Structure 1
Amino acid sequence: VGERIRVILDCDDNTLSFEKNYEFLGVAFR
């Protein structure tokens, strides 16, 4: 198990969230 980058796209709120291991970054594109 290494570093995995999970990209979650929420179409309901137009929010692109990047989850890298334990580090969670929420980026909203307007």
Structure 2
Amino acid sequence: MSWFASNLLSAFLLPPFNVILLGAMGRVAP
């Protein structure tokens, strides 16, 4: 779960990174 928390934090800290994270998440779990 810490990986998920890290991703959420990253998205919150870096708005532009949210798009990359969403794309990666969609690819891993569509």
Write 1 or 2 for the structure with the bigger share of helix: 2
* Both proteins in one fold, TM over 0.5: no
Larger radius of gyration: 1
Q: TM-score range by the shorter chain?
A: under 0.3
The structure whose RCO (Cα within 8 Å, separation 6+) is larger is: 1
Q: TM-score, normalised by structure 2?
A: 0.18
Q: Hey, which of these two has a bigger chunk of strand by percent?
A: 1
